[in-house]
Amino acid sequence: MTGLPSRPVEDRPLIDISVALREGTPEWPGDTAYSCRWTWQVSRGDSVNVSSTCGSPHVGTHADAPFHIDASWPRVDALPLEAFLGRASVIDVRGRQGPMEQSALGGGVIAGGRLLLRTGCTIADGVFPAEWPWLSSSCVAALLAGGLRLLGVDAPSVDGRDSRSLEVHRALFGGGAMVLENLDLRGAPPGDYELVAAPLRLVGLDAAPVRAVLRALRPE
């Protein structure tokens, strides 16, 4: 086999904003780490390679479900796919400290109601960050009033690391917005893009892995 056949593609480069998931990808302290073993291997004389993985769905790039914080709220297989597909704005807030007010976002229009925050506090370098910025309650309320439908962050959580009340999660889910965490936005300059980031349809769970991709918008 020499490779897959080539086919024409649109001249809009893709930016993979997913953290590479491998053994050693940092998990939230105390959560179940990702691991992999091989059920069958060609190198051992088997006819195929077949792997088996284990780990929390919160390791690596993922979508949280409302059920994550409230047992009466929807689980991950009930998430609305429309929230994870469409125009999105990447805003650079590196160097900021939380909680951030709306002024930290620059006051621009958020494309499609989808906001991706580049905090620089990502696990993509292989280290779980000590802290990261997050949005204030008043900022989240204002964004929801303006039509926010998804908040994505390159940090491990949309809330602060030490939060126990998870106010940002609760406000977002209560306002009908979805959550993406552990993005890798290092290769995504600030601006507007098309986002494709559908979560896996895992029945009954609190979160699901996502392969998140940005693509340049079509010229108007």
For 219, half-sphere exposure in the C-beta direction (CA atoms, 13 angstrom radius) is 3
Residues in the chain: 220
∠ CA 101-177-99, nearest 5°, is: 20
Please report where in the chains the tokens 């469409």 appear, as a residue: 86
What is the DSSP secondary-structure string of 136-182?
Answer: -HHHHHHHHHTT--EEEESSS-SS-TT-SS-HHHHHHHHTT-EEEES
Catalytic residue among 58, 62, 68, 169: 68
Known catalytic residue: 58?
A: no
Q: Which residues pair with 35 in a beta bridge?
A: 54
Task: Judge contact between 91 and 48, C-beta under 8 A.
Answer: no
- Across the chain, the runs of DSSP E, i.e. the strands, are 14-16, 35-40, 50-54, 62-64, 85-92, 114-118, 150-153, 178-181, 191-196, 207-209, 213-215
Active-site residue list: 68
